[in-house]
Chains A and B, each alone.
Chain A
Amino acid sequence: MQETEAVLNARREMEICNACRYCEGFCAVFPAVELRRDFSAGDLSYLANLCHGCRGCYYACQYAPPHEWGINVPRTLAEVRAESYVEYAWPPALAKAFDRNGVVVSLVAALSISLILLIAMAIASPGQFFAARGMQADSFYAVIPLWAMQVVGVGTFGFSLFALWKGAMNFWADAGAKQSITLTAIAIAVKDAVTLKNLGGGGDGCNDNSEAFSMRRRYLHHAMAGGFMLCFAATCVGFVYHTFLGLPAPYPFISAPVLLGTVGGVLLTIGTVGLFAMKLVEDPMPVVRRLLGGDVAMLVLLALAAITGLFLLAVRATGAMGIALAIHLGFILALFLVLPYSKMVHGVYRSAALLRRAVERDMKPLGGE
């Protein structure tokens, strides 16, 4: 991690937090602070990615603005977190995508949809493209051939997974634990990541836009992440049905792929729309306005991927299937492409930070007791 303005400010704030420690019951960040007296840039990157942005510490802080020390941990760590995404991005040349990320994500989405539409129309004649096929087997592939879906999908998603892995390795080299990783630590980290324990704020949840606590954000994130995973599972089951069981799409409504996808799509829509709505009314103080574009773009992209998927389900037997499929696949392609260069990377780095916290869980706080 570079010694930037944001890193210097984070160090100043963490040193004040370390002398106070009132917030140690809120989340994993403060107990992690108490283990050290000196904060390297890598340590600050670790703490920044460990922070889930619940804002409990901001509203509880006796030194929050307008106090002369102006402590605003959620905002300060969000600044460092954003810089860490640039720092660890692979290949480094694509790290620029994090500047004006909202524009990048939106452009990639628009271009992906256009591209898929153009390809589909180039391959299929207008008659084929707008034909109503009912539940005829392989109907989707008449519009976009299976091989094209597989090549593009596996190619882009595979590249993105590799880029995320490289990013995770960069994070770990700079901000990871020095001790070895145990299975227990992995189990703890997975549990903390899946349950979003650190959005629990010590029991009653996080602060949305005032001193009051609520579980709203945690539950909406569960809906979003759970929905995303169910949709992914639907795709995998579909792949197994087609490749190994010889059952081609489309599948009846009461079937594993469609039920998984439908429930997933609905949850994903609820989660993303809910989180978007919360952004409209949030307190601007503990957040970084500059990052809002990228966050919102990602929420909208996920929401539209889900909504177009549900729409495709609704119209799949009609003549609108072709265009609905092309648009839906356009959003999915965009999602695959921007995966390592968007808000989505937070899942990787935050999980890695939780792993370091789990590895260091038995270390004793310095000073005090």
Chain B
Amino acid sequence: MPDRKQTYDVLVAGGGNAALCAAITARQAGASVLLLESAPKAFRGGNSRHTRNLRAMHDAPNAVLTDAYKEDEYWDDLLRVTGGNTNEEMARMTIRASSGVFDWMKDCGVRFQPSLTGTLNLGRTNAFFLGGGKALLNAYYLTAEKLGIDILYDTEVISMNMDDGSVRSVDITYRGFPETVYARCVVASCGGFQANLEWMREFWGDAVDNFVIRGTPYNRGRVLKNLLDQGVAAIGDPTQCHAVALDARAPKFDGGITTRLDSVPYSVVVNKHGDRFYDEGEDVWPKRYAIWGRLIAQQPDQIAYSICDSKAFPLFMPSVYPAIKADSVGELALKMKLDPAKVIATVDAYNAAVVPGQSFDNLKLDGNRTEGLTPNKTNWARTVDKGPFYGYPLRPGITFTYLSVKVNDKAQVLMENGQPSGNLFASGEIMSGNILGKGYLAGFGMTIGTVFGRIAGAEAARHARN
């Protein structure tokens, strides 16, 4: 049992990837470290528990990544998804640092799948953790225990008491009981606020009732709010988040990866009125899956329906829920409680607009498109006519929010007056908004968490010693 009366060199709030990277790095630099995870041990690890890979720059093929993925291409991808809503200097620093994390991760016991097919065509850009994010966390926690980091589960940070830009003490509840702990430096790595539906409601209104939170129910943004209330500078639009299309039957929290649907590029997607509302084939799914959550969030009642036929059905990953199946489009619409006449009209109009002749190729932009529709489908457009027909109801699935504390490239938290905090650092989702203004790139959250976690840990240990 750790001695909670001692003054630690570094206190880390959080228990996910960014927190563990910070804690281990600080400990390796010689600091005494206390890590506080608000979840019980079985649910430790925040959203990292549901992750699978990390997007990494590399100039040549290696054991876990094929081909090359250079700084400029990575930056271009990020620029495109964020629509320029990013910080080039900080983003490029993160991208460059991502190429150098493998040896350290492997030393911490993290294992990768050999470069392989994986899913979503990501074998070139993303390194896959063997067994996924929970296996990665298990390796980090084992390493942390071995190094002598004190870890408390069921321990939530209530307040980081700041004075003159520095954290003087930290109020916690340890298994439900209030306590105060002390540390020379503090790292905040405890995520966004997406699981705090009341806070979300301030920005989204009652639409949040139709949101699904994909990850941990423990990311309630308590530390984020506490810091912003104490004069820490905020960055990021509070409505921006990583949001994907999910099966509407998903549990409200913690459904993770299995509730997502990859059917959109091979489907016709309609809203509750039976109208199409966006180009389903705009780009390959890894570059588009993260805009569909927001698109659906903007539809009436935040719901949409993906409809495909038996030609398309084998092309995408199954969701955990069985497809709704019918012998005709009308029957399918009825089963999904949509107006059959309207859906039939939409599908007929779509079928009539499909331009025939191109060969179908689901691995690249194949140019199979419709003509004369608003909106048109620009790739993988094939007629929906070969029964049986399959449908899935879709909801917005929130992964994490982007409203963040502002940091500099040393992971130091910045105050509203622009001055860096004397002893407070941040890494992971709680500062992701510094780089991700909007949109998302698969595996980039883990990149930010790993790179900034290591920076925050090293800087905190250095400051604690001085």
Residues of A within 8 A of B (CB): 15-16, 18-26, 37, 56-57, 59-68, 202-204, 211-212, 365-369
Contacts and interface: CB of A to CB of B under 8 A. Distances in A.
Contact of A62 (B117, B142, B256, B317): B256
A366 B315 CA distance: 7
Contact of A368 (B113, B120, B133, B259): B120
22 contacts: A19-B257, A19-B319, A19-B320, A20-B258, A21-B119, A22-B52, A22-B129, A22-B257, A25-B114, A26-B131, A59-B135, A60-B131, A60-B132, A62-B257, A63-B256, A63-B258, A64-B42, A202-B111, A211-B142, A366-B314, A368-B262, A368-B317
B438 interface: no
A40 B412 CA distance: 56
B50 A19 contact: no
Nearest to B112: A25
A62 B111 contact: no
Given A19-B257, A60-B135, A368 B130 contact: no
B134 interface: yes
Interface in B255-294: 256-259, 262
Is the interface on chain B under 10, 10 to 19, 20 to 34, or 35 or more residues? 35 or more
| 7 closest A-B pairs by CB | A22-B132, A60-B131, A211-B138, A19-B258, A60-B135, A367-B317, A368-B119
Nearest to B130: A25
Contact of A212 (B52, B113, B142, B320): B142
A67 B130 contact: no
Contact of A68 (B141, B251, B259, B316): B251
Nearest to A68: B251
Nearest to A204: B111
Given A23-B131, A26-B130, A369 B319 contact: no
B121 A367 contact: no
B466 to A, nearest CB: 36
Given A68-B251, A203-B111, A22 B142 contact: no
B131 A202 contact: yes
Nearest to A63: B256
Contacts of B316: 367-368
Contacts of A366: 314, 318
Contacts of A62: 49-50, 132-134, 256-257
Secondary structure call for the A interface? loop
B131 A25 contact: yes
Contact of A56 (B119, B131, B317, B363): B131
Contacts of A20: 132, 256-258, 320
B459 interface: no
Nearest to A364: B117
A76 to B, nearest CB: 16
A18 B316 CA distance: 12
Interface string B134-168: 11001101100000000000000000000000000
Nearest to A368: B119
A23, A66, A367, most chain B CB atoms within 10 A? A367
Given A19-B258, A20-B257, A67-B254, A57 B131 contact: yes
A302 to B, nearest CB: 32
A25 B136 CA distance: 13
Contact of A60 (B121, B138, B259, B318): B138
Contact of B141 (A57, A66, A204, A211): A211
Interface string B13-50: 00000000000000000000000000000110000011
A15 B322 CA distance: 9
A15 B42 CA distance: 23
Contacts of A369: 117-119, 121, 363
B195 to A, nearest CB: 15
B256 A24 contact: no
A70 to B, nearest CB: 12
Interface string B288-321: 0000000000000000000000000011111110
A24 B256 CA distance: 17
Contacts of B262: 367-368
Contacts of B119: 21, 368-369
